[in-house]
Amino acid sequence: MPDTGHAPPAKAPSARTRVKRLPARGHYDGATINAILDAGLICHVGYVIDGQPYVTPTAYWREGDRVYWHGSSASRMLRQIKGGIPVCLTVSLLDGIVLARSGFHHSLNYRAVMALGTAETVEGDRAKLAVLEAFSERLAPGRWRELRPPTAQEVKATTVLHMSLNEASAKIRTGGPIDDEPDYALPIWAGVLPIRLATGVPEADPRLTPGIPVPDYLQNVSVG
């Protein structure tokens, strides 16, 4: 799906994260990478165990120049990754379907990040609770302070990993279709069908105690 892409990147990427296909769409500055990461909630973590590649979807959050994810301490994925094996973490946000005058030039508008590195474990209950609070606040700002505190067993049963964003790149496509010049005269509709991720009306738990109102902070949840 060829087209012209974006302006040149602000700084040189690493050899492994340089965007090779449509390189003008590549972005390597922290502000662009962070903005994409902060708009998403689900990442895909790629790794290899005994020669077999795996890709695991999981929730994530960012603090500073590091990205975090967590799960059960019994998770094979987390147990393997915290051993220092190479990891590829990706986040993709879909912004629209690009409809051209030919199928060959159809495309998608998107924002994506790829980060490479090795993951480290967050050690110590206090540090672990601090980053889990940050995760809760990413999902619903203001909720942590009203939750039941985690038990010692719950903290023990949770592994939190983090990885540096020192080796990361973003790739972005925006705009309309780019057709072959003769095709612009064809009587075929072309353009973009926007796609937006948005929150809906909160749905109460059927076992919610009557009279508990919807928290005001749910209005501050941001996605996409």
- Give the count of domains, the chain: 1
Q: What integer pLDDT is reported at residue 119 of this predicted model?
A: 95
What average pLDDT does the segment 84-90 reach?
Answer: 95
When mean pLDDT is compared across 56-60, 62-66, 218-222, the lowest value belongs to 218-222
For residue 85, is it within any domain?
A: yes
Question: What are the residues facing 116 on neighbouring strands?
Answer: 88
Confidence band for 220, pLDDT divided at 50, 70 and 90: confident
Structure token pair of residue 75 = 């998770």
- 107 sits in which H/E element: strand 107-118
CATH code, 63: 2.30.110.10
- The pLDDT score that the predictor gives to residue 222 is 86
Query: Does any domain span residue 219?
Result: no
Could you tell me if residue 203 is inside a domain?
no
Classify residue 217: in a domain, yes or no: no
- Give domain status of residue 17, yes or no: yes
DSSP assignment letter at 21: S
Q: What is the pLDDT of residue 10?
A: 47
| Residue at 195 is within a domain | no
Residue 52 domain flag: yes
Mean pLDDT along residues 198-218: 94
Threshold 0.85, pTM exceeds: yes
pLDDT for 1-46, tens place per residue?
A: 344 444 334 456 888 888 888 888 888 999 999 999 999 999 999 9
| Residue 50 belongs to domain spanning | 1-173
Alpha carbon distance 125, 158 (integer Å): 10
Asked if pLDDT for residue 168 goes beyond 90, the answer is yes
| Mean pLDDT, the chain, whole residue set | 91
What is the phi/psi pair of residue 102, to 5°? Answer: -140, 150
Q: What is the pLDDT of residues 107-158, one digit of tens each?
A: 999 999 999 999 999 999 999 999 999 999 999 999 999 999 999 999 999 9
Q: Using an 8 Å Cβ cutoff, are 139 and 92 in contact? A: no
CA distances to 23, 96, 212 from 174, rounded to whole Å, are: 14, 9, 43
